[in-house]
Structure 1
Amino acid sequence: MSDLSVTSRAFSTRPQSKWFDVVPALGISSIDHLFNRLDGAYPFYWRSNFPDAQSVENWKESWVEVFDSEKLSFDEVKFGLKTVRVEYERPPTLKQFLSACRPAVDPYEAYQAAFTGQIARDQGKHGVWPSPAVFWAAMSMWSELRSQTYSAIEKRWAATLKAELAKGEWDEIPKVNAHPALGYTPMRSVEDEARMQDELKKVWKRADSAFDHLTWARKLIARVEAGDKTVPLQAEKNAREVLGLKVVA
């Protein structure tokens, strides 16, 4: 692969931004990593948009400028990348990518994500969060989400989520082992476990009958489970990943 994603600062008027900082684990910046991931997701289509190194630099500066102005988080961009790789056959525009990173948040859809994300974190997983706002709203109501039904907390949850979304800027979602309340499997009574399983079934049942930001993934997995052999393996893997299911080998 040619190294178009790495360009000389001599050509650059780039602003100071976390997106240009080299990530030690990657050896490149986050925006270079995003470029490479989009290139891998859309062979030929992506690279054909960039005739030279300067055009790549222009793309990076333009997208980073918007990421910063919208206060986009790393988690939101990661979520958006997973979504566009399945939903778009051609590379997304900046507007399409932003919509994928930060879909409209409905209180019940956010509750679905918070509830299933909570279970994932109990299992030592990161969880799938449509926005850091959903995570931090869930954190402020962690015990209520765990112990009460949606109908019991609906108004308080909607108000908490609205207040969190209004902030417009959030801390990154911590790693599972980075918070004392996360990363362990709490002891629950048989009654609590039964209630949570019942609530989880309700979440999925309602999600199947109404549109939410993971509808595409649910439908794709339903096709696979029905025996559809035309579903690309990578699409199935992406769908399983965003739903928190076991990823096929």
Structure 2
Amino acid sequence: MLSTFEQENPWLVPVAKLEGKTLMEHLYGRFNGMYPYLWKANFTDMDAITDWEISWAEAFADEGIKPDDIATGLKGCRTMFPKPPSLTEFLGACRPYLEPSTAFHEAVAGMQARAKGENFTYSHPAIFFAAIAAGQHDIMNGSYVGMQERWKKTLAAQLAKKSWPEIPAPVKALPPQVVSKAEAIKENKKVMQMVEEAVSVKPGLSWVHNVFRKHKHVGMFSLNRAIQTAIEHDIPIPAEVRA
């Protein structure tokens, strides 16, 4: 009789398409075929096989592993592991995109696409939310070498959550506004005026700025006096006044 855990774990339930075998029994057969003699040597009796099935099935359920992930892991085993992999090694092979450096570069690509208002399909939602938690600016402008430890911790923290909200749609970038040359000149004058007004005026010397603003309409004596005062008090002299 199956325990409550075994009844609830989909990896331990018989599957009709597998002729009544469980997914774990099917995986056992795949490993046995990939590693002749080496695989069976890990198990001294049926209890050992049962223990393996239950412990790995529990890990698959906890990590949200899907059959497609198992297929990816088995394919990776062909080139990654000359000997049967441990549970940790196999989990990594099932989701190579969650390897920190790979996930980081996917996060960068995703943030760059979203900055343009483009959709991006993430291999795993934790990559997106880890990028947000680490900081979009740092992700897009930093390097993996510089952010390695921080990124590993952030990604691990997100993966530990087990569930994530839906990734929000990117905000479409607004098209650049077309401005005529005349409008650009007018806007530039406004900006320059704002800059001038933002310059702190030393107490008692506001008259110097007033003379400079009206330099075309003041006498040479007043203008020269204003220039001399500006030099003495480190007040910027406009280029048009110097001309």
Normalising by structure 1, we get a TM-score of 0.40
Highest RCO, 1 vs 2 (Cα 8 Å, sep ≥ 6): 1
Bigger helix share: 2
Task: Determine which structure has more spread, i.e. the larger CA radius of gyration.
Answer: 2
